[in-house]
Structure 1
Amino acid sequence: MVFSSLFFAFGFLPVTVVLYYLSGKSLRSIVLLAASLFFYVWGEPVYVLLMCGSIMINYCIGILLGRDDAGRRKKRLFFIISLVFNLGCLAYFKYLGRLPIGISFYTFQTLSYVVDVYRGNIKPQKNPILFALYIAMFPQLVAGPIVKYADIESQLAGRSINFEQFSSGMRRFLHGLGKKVLLANQIGLLWSEVKAMPGTEVSVFMAWTGMIAFALQIYFDFSGYSDMAIGLGNMFGFRFKENFRYPYIAQSISEFWRRWHISLGSWFKEYVYIPLGGSRAGKLKLMRNLFIVWFLTGLWHGASWNFVLWGLYFGALIGIEKLFLQKSMTRWPKAARHIYVLLLVVIGWVFFEFTDLTEGVNFLRIMFGMGDNGLIDNQAIVKLKAYAFIYMVCILAASPWLKIRGLFFIRMDCNIYRLAANMYYCALLFILAAYMVSSTYNPFIYFRF
């Protein structure tokens, strides 16, 4: 079940909200857990047993790690058992078998929980319902953001919500759904057309036009899902951290990754990079640590060499910035830094998108004019004209410009603003429903991970 489906938006979600708020406070966690399990069963009826097994085993290990009478050696043994089980399941099902939806995300949540209990940073959750809800909660179950237990521990125990928080969550959900349905899906059509073309018919201009379209598609696809997850969390009394902060306005590759998929970057920083020594142990170990982190980041996305290459590509760029470019880049014009980031990021998406390395290398060759494809052709101009409007809208929406303009209008008379806002959200809901009814193109890129 995806958030951008009619069944979810007009069936599952309204029913879940009504049942949740009709239940007493003591039953709301059970209702939300039951709804989350149904949500997962709808898409993965077999692998829900795997997730439930993971929940039970990590719950028990957390309890054992938190016991005062457990010695250091026993705790270390329990901790190793948890690592072997969690990483073993992830490796087996993701890299050797069929990919269960969301396994990368909920495995990293269980790992962070066990590590934090082992370190003594948090106390184990003794209520199995609340622990299961932390892992299986449907808003962030299948594609994040990756939520640390410490960030929502108090919210699991007791949540209070008011009308403003609920309505804010609804608005955030609609914005995310708009990103997905109106922007990602529409610009994604352009990339799907370009990718389906024979390589001999793709001009340099067409290749860049298509790959930039993919860069916009994956941003609105994933950030839209994150917005919907955060909005849904608000509707049920949870506050999840932001997962995207306009990454395409970054002035360096390092900054780009501080703005893109923030929860994943934070996870690797806290549980891998810093324990390895971070940047404190000299340049050689810095490069080693970056290599390990970005190798694992690529591998997290899939057992394919293109993802490993994609991860190492960005790790190398960040290493170069830290060792050589960081100081000199501050003297570059902002426009130059921005172009530098966008150029390298778009090239990086080629490695990400083409699981066949040969196809990816051939596409890069076309992008840089290494062949007889030509600089531009009539077909490229026709496609650009057809998608010009959605292209411009996506570029604007990928920057904070529209948000700043929105804040300007909020300063208008409150009654006028409320009326305009209500009309806007009603119109947006109507348009989204119309698109979901009529459209058959509704992929979700990060369901692969």
Structure 2
Amino acid sequence: MAFTTVFFLFAVMPASVAGYYLIKLLGNRNEKWSDWLSNLFLVLVSLCFYGWARLEGIALLSIYVLGVWMAGKGICYLEKKAKYKRKVCFMTLSILAVTGILIWYKYYNFIAENLSHFFGISLAMSQWIVPLGISFITFTAISYLVDVFRGDAEAGSLLDVFLYLSFFPKVISGPIVQWKDFQRQTVHRRVDETEFLDGLNRIMIGFAKKVILADSFGAVISKIDPYIGVGMDVPTAWLFAFFYMMQIYYDFSGYSDIAIGLAQLFGFHFKENFQFPYRSKSITEFWRRWHISLGTWFRSYIYIPLGGNRKGMKRTLWNLFCVFLLTGIWHGAAWNYILWGVINGVCVLAERCIREKRFYQKIPAIGKWVVTMAIVFFSWQVFYFSDFIRLGVFVKSLFGLSAANAASAVEYTYQHYLTIKLIFLSVVAVLGATTFCMPWAEKVKTFFARTKTGLFIKETGLILLMIVSVIFMINSSYSPFLYFQY
């Protein structure tokens, strides 16, 4: 089930919020009983949410959660028995098991195809349907096992682990929340009026990002895509690349806003997942601002265990490269994702080597920003095209070098796609991605937060924006969430 559907917005979300607060109200005299019932209610809602697309998904997820919970209990048992080596072995086997499930569902066919192509090894192709959110769920499970192993958090009850792994705001699209951050929020949650309103506001902003901006750009991309390599003028090619750059940001950041806002309605506080990444002046900074929860996960469970930056420059560069290679692999079972990860990794390694050099430090901030955005701009095209032949044709189209750019081959020029509406939305998108964190924007936010007039203006504006979002959502024929496949 997607957030940006009429059924979720007008049925699932209000029913889940109303049911949750009814349970809290009825159990007000017994806090422990209230926590247990409200968590159970959220688990049931989450399982229904997850199983909406495929009913058998409920059974698969339940078995998976049970296995992770038992593995956590096993780690705790070996800890009490002071059998450290066995605990390490058991934890390693548990992580290999959950990782093996991810590889089987998501990467088996990719591996089989490449073994056949490069080595002539023939393997039967899998017909299994990849479970929704398998990558997010796997990383969440690993966080649980490692945090329990390290002693960063206690093992949870079966209900707590069910809630952690299945919680519907984050189960299929993130953000990736670490167990040590989630566990303390499984009890004694309180939501006051201000927090509840902030959660609703975050949801409304997320809806606007997703259905007004991302889906509008996505609809144009879907119209242009069939003409790649067939007939496309140069401005249309650049529009396609620009729209995708904007779409993927507003699509994912919008969904993250909805997830964070939804969680806040139930008393859970998730960390930010995006911090204006298109203002970055280096690829290193970009990855501190883009999909922050994924970067935090890799830092905590891959980079630091590999040694981080504690074992010299060569080892640091190797550790960083491994992280970005795995980042590319995590995004999908295709070579373009791996190449995309390698491109970002090489750029981060190069920046690490030259960041202390005088010539680099003398480069103006605007120059660093332009170079960074150019790298991001072109790397997103690698991310989009799984077919390298189409990618090559498209890159040629950007510079007028493809036969598809011939005037006789072009069926629709950029004027056909660049409507007044798209121009307006593009301006809003660029300003929203680059200027809303500047000092003037912070002053405006302060005004809205501290004065009754400002609060009235803000809430009225957001309600109107939400109404427009609903109109876009109902009228749109394009609404897929890009990160569902990851």
Give the TM-score taking structure 2 as reference length. 0.88
Are the counterparts in 2 of residues 188 and 217 from structure 1 also a CA contact under 8 Å? yes
Contact 2:325 2:342 in 1 (8 A): yes
Cα distance per residue 1:33-75 (max 9 Å; x no partner): 1100110011232222222122111111111211311511321
**Which runs of 5 or more residues in structure 1 are unaligned?**
none
Q: How far is the alpha carbon of 1:271 from its aligned partner?
A: 0.9
- Report what 2:179 is aligned to: 149
- Relative distance call for 1:415 and 1:119 in structure 2 (3 A) is closer
2:63 is matched by which residue type in structure 1? G
Query: How far did residue 99 of structure 1 move?
Result: 1.7
CA distance in 2, matches of 1:206, 1:373: 12
**Distance in 1, Cα, partners of 2:97 & 2:282:** 38
Residue 263 of structure 2 is aligned to residue 224 of structure 1: no
Separation in structure 2 between the aligned mates of residue 343 and residue 332 of structure 1, nearest angstrom: 16
Are positions 1:16 and 2:16 aligned together?
A: yes
Distance in structure 2 (CA, Å) of the matches to 1:391 and 1:191: 13
Cα separation, 2, equivalents of 1:29 and 1:140: 15
Residue identity matched to 2:260: I
Measured after TM superposition, the shift of residue 263 of structure 1 is 0.6
Determine the structure 2 residue equivalent to 1:275. 305
1-structure distance, mates of 2:58, 2:64: 10
Task: Tell me what 2:159 maps to.
Answer: 129
Query: Which letter maps to 1:95?
Result: Y
Tell me the distance in 2 between the aligned counterparts of 1:61 and 1:436. 42
- Conserved 8 A contact 2:229-2:390: no
Q: Does residue 28 of structure 1 match 2:38? A: yes
Q: What code does the residue aligned with 1:408 have?
A: V
Alpha-carbon deviations, 1:180-226, whole Å to 9, x = none? 01110112222222222142422333212211110100000000000
1:161 maps to 191
Give distance in 1, aligned partners of 2:228 and 2:291: 33
Give the letter aligned to residue 6 of structure 2. L
Q: Give the match's secondary structure for 1:213.
A: helix
1:62 aligns with 2:72: yes
Tell me the equivalent position of 2:121: none
Q: 2:465 aligns with which of 428, 434, 438?
A: 428
- Between the aligned residues of both structures, percent identity stands at 35
Tell me, yes or no, if the aligned pair for 1:222 and 1:446 is still in contact at 8 Å. yes
The Cα shift of 1:441 comes to: 1.1
The yes-or-no answer on 1:411 pairing with 2:447 is yes
Q: 1:360 is matched with which residue: 367, 388, 391?
A: 391
SS in 1 for 2:140: helix
Matches of 2:360 and 2:429, distance apart in 1:
28
What is the CA distance between 1:382 and its match in structure 2? 4.1
Match among 329, 334, 353 for residue 304 of structure 1: 334
Q: Which residue of 2 aligns with 1:383?
A: 417
* 1:176 to 1:119, Cα distance in 2 relative to 1, 3 A: same
1:430, distance to aligned residue in structure 2 (A): 1.9
Displacement of 1:282 after TM fit?
3.0
Following the alignment from structure 1 to structure 2, what is the Cα–Cα distance between the partners of residues 284 and 120? 31
Q: CA deviation at 1:153?
A: 1.6
Return the offset for 1:112. Answer: 1.1
Query: What 5-or-longer segments of structure 2 have no aligned partner?
Result: 28-33, 109-127
Corresponding position of 1:437 = 474
1:396–1:402: 8 Å Cα contact kept in structure 2? no
Counterpart Cα distance in 2 of 1:333 and 1:191: 34
Q: Provide the residue aligned with 1:257 in structure 2.
A: 287
CA drift of 1:434 comes to 1.7
Contact 2:231 2:406 in 1 (8 A): no
Aligned equivalents of 1:358, 1:274: Cα separation in 2: 38
Residue pair 1:64, 1:70 contacting (<8 A) in 2 also: no
User: Which residue in 2 is equivalent to 1:203?
Assistant: 233
Distance 1:421 1:341 in 2: 34
The code of the aligned residue for 2:417 comes to: K
Q: Which residue identity lines up with residue 447 of structure 2 in the other structure?
A: R
Q: CA deviation at 1:406?
A: 6.7
Q: Which residue of 2 aligns with 1:392?
A: 427
Check conservation: 2:396, 2:402, Cα contact below 8 A.
yes
Residues 204 and 258, structure 2, Cα contact 8 Å, conserved in 1: yes
Kept after mapping to 2: 8 A contact 1:145/1:226: yes
Aligned to 1:139, the other structure's residue is in SS state coil
Aligned residue for 2:275, secondary structure, equals coil
Q: Quick check: 1:204–1:375 contact (8 Å CA) kept in 2? A: no
Q: CA deviation at 1:440?
A: 1.5
Shift of 1:375: 9.9
1:140 aligns to what SS in structure 2? coil
- Cα RMSD, aligned residues only: 2.0
Equivalent residues in 2 for 1:95-106 (5 A)? 95-96=107-108, 97-106=128-137
Taking the aligned partners of 2:437 and 2:152, their CA distance within structure 1 comes to 40
Describe the SS at the equivalent of 1:275: helix
Is it true that 1:83 corresponds to 2:95 in the alignment? yes
Alignment deviations for residues 130-185 of structure 1 (CA, whole Å, 9 cap, x no partner): 11101110001111000001112211122111111111100001100110011101
Q: Distance in 2 between matches of 1:312 and 1:415?
A: 50
Structure 1 range deviating more: 268-277 or 12-21: 268-277
Quick check: 1:320 aligned with 2:350?
yes
- Structure 2: how far apart are the matches of 1:50 and 1:84? 18
Q: Does structure 2 retain, via aligned residues, the 8 Å contact 1:130–1:157?
A: no
Greater CA deviation, 108-117 or 417-426?
A: 417-426
Which residue is equivalent to 1:180?
210
Letter in 2 for 1:107: T
> How much does 1:369 deviate?
3.8
With normalisation by structure 1, the TM-score equals 0.95
Aligned to 1:335: 366
CA distance in 2, matches of 1:379, 1:359: 19
